[in-house]
Amino acid sequence: MKILHFYRTYYPDSFGGVEQVIRQMVNGSAKLGIDAEVLTLTRDIQNLEIEFEGHKVHRAALDVEIASTGFSWSSLSRFKQLASEADIVHYHFPWPFMDLAHFACQIKKPSVVTYHSDIVRQKYLLKLYQPLKSRFLNRVDRIVATSPNYLATSTTLEKYQDKTEIITYGLDKSIYPEPSETQLQNWRTRFPQPFFLFVGMLRYYKGLHVLLDAVAGTDMPVVILGDGPVEAELKQQAQQLGLRNLHFLGALPELDKVALLQLCYALVFPSHLRSEAFGITLLEAAMFGKPMISCEIGTGTSYVNLDQETGLVVPASDPAALRQAMQHLLAHPEQARTMGIKAALRYESMFTAERMAKNYQRLYQEILEQRQS
């Protein structure tokens, strides 16, 4: 069985949550005998055909980017060719150019869409895109929601419940690097006190401005790993608040991320808008047995992190509630340790890459059999 994944960004150009999920899908399905390849866009026009972790990554030159939507006219012919060689085309939503490519290339192959998120921010552009989006989602064979929470709260997905099913994300711990004791000790020396960790792109929906307000006037150490569009304004806010217990590390290699996940006291994940559909970082924290603090936004974050079981869930955009949750975990280390253990057990039972890959293998087979009949 040959699968073509199509998404606007992918490794090694970009390291976001959707890219991580596609990576885990491809690696996990390879262990089941599925040949999966990825087509994506890139600014690196010198290397359009590469191999990443044993699978092919086909890349087309990015021509222009409008409202986070990449366009590539050269990708259309490549997409049509690669789709003709695949048994199933696996789309990753949202990416309006992808919908356009589906119809422009007259794709007739069986298709599945993993619905990663609603379109939240571009409300006016969404009105223009709505007819194309509806036509595209009507045409594909199956849609996958990534959590029961998101399926229950998405006004788009409720229109397609008859062909939508839930397959949650999963991670393979074995593909994460293992830091040496020397590397761990270096980070212990730098951050000797119990610290809270945030990992992710610094984007508008991550709620980091709320986190900064929450730790103002306290001595709770917070380490922020990642970079992104709102980094400069967050640093300005931290300076205005006089925060000396906040540490911006920027983007670091995977090895350092793993070391910090292993050493942190807990993960703090203050995303406050529905653009945060799941939270891969939450899964990573659970995988490493860490308690979590997240916000209730009606998405998969509260499916990964169960309030009072694997961590604490607080109201969104509420600095006082977030501060109280962080102080509570620090004041109750035994409870925090128990939550971390339960988080790891929940990961093992529900969120492994093997489980995700087997569910997609079953879905692929169902789609092919349905088309044949």
What the block records as the tokens of 371 is 């088309």
Query: Do residues 285 and 261 touch, judged by C-beta distance below 8 A?
Result: yes
Considering the domain architecture, whether residues 144 and 270 belong to the same structural domain is answered as: no
Q: How many domains does the chain have?
A: 2
Both 185 and 133 in one domain: the answer is: no
Token pair belonging to 105: 């290339």
The pLDDT, as a whole number, for residue 120 is: 74
* Kind of pairing between the strands at 69-71 and 64-66: antiparallel
Residue ranges of alpha helices (H) inside the chain are 17-30, 74-85, 96-104, 123-139, 148-153, 181-190, 208-215, 231-241, 254-263, 280-287, 301-304, 319-331, 333-350, 353-372
pLDDT tens digits along 206-252: 999 999 999 999 999 999 999 999 999 999 999 999 999 999 999 99
Provide the 10 A C-beta neighbour count for residue 369. 10
Distance CA 193, CA 205 (A): 28
Q: What pLDDT is stored for residue 17 in this prediction?
A: 87
CB-based contacts of 307, cutoff 8 Å, min separation 6: 313
Which helix (H) or strand (E) segment is 145 a member of? strand 142-145
Instruction: Say if residue 287 is in the same domain as residue 363.
Output: no
| Residues in the chain where the model's pLDDT stays below 50 | none
d(CA 290, CA 255): 17
Give yes or no for a contact between 72 and 97, defined as CB atoms under 8 angstroms apart: yes
Q: Do 283 and 346 lie in a common domain?
A: yes
Whole-angstrom Cα distance, residue 48 to residue 241?
Answer: 45
Same domain for 146 and 91:
yes
139 and 189 in a single domain? The answer is no
Among left, alpha and beta (phi > 0; psi -120 to 50; other), residue 296 is beta
206 plus 266 within the same structural domain: yes
**CATH assignment at residue 238:** 3.40.50.2000
**Are 64 and 157 found together in one domain?**
yes
Give pLDDT, residue 122.
67
Residue 73, both tokens? 């006219």
Whether residues 38 and 60 share a domain: the answer is: yes
**Domain shared by 124 and 37, yes or no:** yes
Please give the residue range of the domain that contains residue 48.
2-172+352-372
For 185, phi then psi, to 5°, come to -65, -35
Q: Alpha carbon of 293 to those of 155, 257, 312, 319: distances in Å?
A: 27, 18, 5, 12
Q: Take residue 354 and report the two structure tokens written for it.
A: 């093997």
Output the six-digit token pair for 330: 């620090």
Q: Which of 134, 91, 135 is nearest to 110 (CA)?
A: 91
Q: Cα 28–33–36 angle (5° rounding)?
A: 65
The pLDDT value given to residue 68: 78
Is residue 311 within 8 Å of 268, Cβ to Cβ? no
DSSP per residue over 284-301, as a string? HHHHTT--EEEEE-SSTH
Q: CA–CA separation, 299 vs 278, rounded Å? A: 6
| pTM for the model | 0.92
User: Any idea which residue has 């590397």 for tokens?
Assistant: 183
Q: Which string of DSSP letters, residue by residue, matches 191-245? A: --S--EEEES---GGG-HHHHHHHHTTS---EEEEB--TTHHHHHHHHHHHT-SS
Contact 226, 256 (CB under 8 A): no
User: Do 8 and 147 sit in the same domain of this protein?
Assistant: yes
Based on the fold, state whether residues 52 and 165 are members of the same structural domain. Answer: yes
Please tell me the distance from the alpha carbon of residue 128 to that of residue 185, in angstroms, as a whole number: 53
